[in-house]
Amino acid sequence: MILFLFFVNVSKSLLIRLKLLLILSFGIFSCSDLTTPTQVAVSNINKIFEEIEFAFQLYEPERVISRLHPDFLHNGYDRDYQALIWYERLLNYHTIVIEKSSITVNEYNNYAEVEFELTLIGADTTIVSAEPSPLFGDLSYFSRFGERWFLYGNQH
C-alpha cells in the first residue's frame, strides 16, 4: 500500500513537472516573431544578403558562389559565368551595400523576388542600382529547394 502511494505521488509530481515544461515551451515558442512560412522565408533571404555582404568584406567569393543554385540562370548567364562576375566584382569593388526595400514570396514559399538598392564602392567608382535592373539583377531572384534558399536568377 505504501509502495502504491509512493508511485502515485511520484506520478503526480511528474505530471505537474511535465505540465510546467509544456507551458514554458509554449511560452517560449509563441514569443518567436517568425510564425508564418513567409516570415521564415524572408528571414532566410535576409541572412543570405548579410552573408553576401560579409563575404564581400572578407574577399571570400566562394561563400557567395555557394549560394548560387546549380541551375542558376540570369539573362543567359549560368552559374559558372556568374561565379566569374562575382570574382570581377571583388576585384573592382571593396564594399557592397544592400539596402532591401521589399521581399515578395510566392504563395508556395518556394520563390522570392527582392527589390533593393545595390551599391558597389570601388577605389575610383561607385555604382548605385535599383534592383532588379537590367544592369545587375542577379541578386533579386531566389528559389527554395528543400529547406535552403538559393540565388536562382530570372531563368531567362
**pLDDT tens digits along 88-123:** 999 999 999 999 889 999 988 899 999 999 999 999
Rounded mean pLDDT of 43-59? 94
Q: What is the mean pLDDT of the chain?
A: 85
| The pLDDT of residue 76 | 94
b/e string for 115-130 if b means 16 or more Cβ within 10 A? ebebebeeeeeeeeee
Q: Has residue 47 got a pLDDT over 50?
A: yes
**pLDDT tens digits along 68-91:** 999 999 999 999 999 999 999 999
| The pLDDT of residue 121 | 96
H or E element in which residue 116 lies: strand 111-121
- Burial bucket for residue 96 (CB in 10 Å: 0-12, 13-18, 19+): buried
Q: Has residue 28 got a pLDDT over 80?
A: no
| The pLDDT of residue 88 | 94
| The pLDDT of residue 116 | 94
Rounded mean pLDDT of 55-64? 93
